[in-house]
Amino acid sequence: MSAAAPAISVVVVSDYRAGEDKSWDDLRATLAALAGQDFDEPFECLLVENRDDLANLPADVPSAFPGVRVLSSEASGSYGLKNAGIAAARGDLVGVLDADCAPDRSWLRSGVDAMRRWSDAVAISGRTTYPGRSLLERCLALLSRCYVDRGHSGTVRLLSTNNMIVRRSVFTECPLPEGAGPFAYRLLTEGLLRRGGKLYFEPAMRAVHDSEGWAMERDLRRGVGWTSVRIRQLDATLPGAGVVRGLGPFSIPLFYAYRVGESAGHCLRLPRHYGLSWYHAPLLIGLAMVVHGFEISGMIGAFRNDGAGASAYR
């Protein structure tokens, strides 16, 4: 930490089960991982939380990263909290991490080097895995966390908002979309691409996201399904919006088939990056059919104009 402008600011936000004992444990682990980075330049860490949840912050949590700035916000959604953190950051570069997403020791160095190497990048996503405590957990990590993973460094069309580094000047003008659920990043990325921005993926920016098994996957996928319909109802320029608007609920089988096919491609290209082998592909494709099936109830709810429903995500 330094009085001079930091090379990068890191914003940490809890997007899942905020305010519970386990979420504070996850936050301690993430802050400790940031404190142990092999990064020689000055950087700052900001913990942003809703005012009500912040009142329950255990006194020892900030000590995991001495000097962390704790910001209180009126925002209740994770995107609103991240926007508040980006706006308050002192660095021109801002890293964004979910509180249950502990970065590798080289995360900061790899990300800053990549942003300097790609001067045209407005944002870079890193590779996110689960702890990998079982074969199932490694499979779910690939299926749920690889949507930006091209296997190697390069340009992409999406962002992983739980593990990214952005240029503050761009994101203060084009913030994360609030009010469309915690998975509406596509509204942001398409807007950035239309403005001529470039998005990149850097696998060396690795972080380990906690996993709570099937309960978390069902919750996540229901929200993804709801959001995939809702954002296309809001923005007619998004890919697939014409199908949603033209076919209504009859578009659901098409979305399901597309999503399974997309995941099948990931299952054939990326297993080794998630601790798996080529012969796990049949299992992965079978699991893809199951997890994408969880999205259907969310899609139905969006077409019925229901809310996203109760969720541990915010």
Q: Where are the domains of the chain?
A: 8-212, 215-303
The reported pLDDT for the residue numbered 21 is: 80
The reported pLDDT for the residue numbered 181 is: 81
The reported pLDDT for the residue numbered 309 is: 80
The reported pLDDT for the residue numbered 301 is: 95
Q: Which amino acid is at 181?
A: G
The reported pLDDT for the residue numbered 265 is: 95
Strand partners, 10: 45, 95
What's this model's pTM, rounded to 2 decimal places? 0.93
Report CA 110 to chain centroid distance, whole Å. Answer: 18
The reported pLDDT for the residue numbered 5 is: 87
DSSP state at residue 174: S
Contact by Cβ (8 Å): 31, 47: yes
Q: What is the CA radius of gyration of the chain?
A: 19
d(CA 179, CA 164) in angstroms, rounded, equals 21
- In tens digits, the chain (314 residues) has pLDDT values of 456 789 999 999 998 877 678 889 999 999 999 999 999 999 999 999 999 988 889 999 999 999 999 999 999 899 999 999 999 999 999 999 999 999 999 999 999 999 999 999 999 999 999 999 999 999 999 999 999 999 999 999 999 999 999 999 999 999 999 988 889 999 999 999 999 999 999 999 999 999 999 999 999 999 999 999 999 999 999 999 999 999 999 999 999 999 999 999 999 999 999 999 999 999 999 999 999 999 999 999 999 998 878 888 98
CATH homologous superfamily, domain 8-212: Spore Coat Polysaccharide Biosynthesis Protein SpsA; Chain A (3.90.550.10)
Cα-based distances in Å from 27 to 9, 18, 62, 250: 17, 10, 9, 42
d(CA 34, CA 156) in angstroms, rounded, equals 26
Residues 6+ apart with CB under 8 A from 312: 16, 17, 216, 219
Q: What is the rounded (10 degree) CA torsion for 175, 311, 15, 136? A: -120
Number of C-alpha atoms within 13 angstroms, CB side, residue 108? Answer: 24
Contact by Cβ (8 Å): 172, 88: no
The reported pLDDT for the residue numbered 310 is: 84
Q: How far apart are the first and last CA of the chain?
A: 31
The reported pLDDT for the residue numbered 16 is: 81
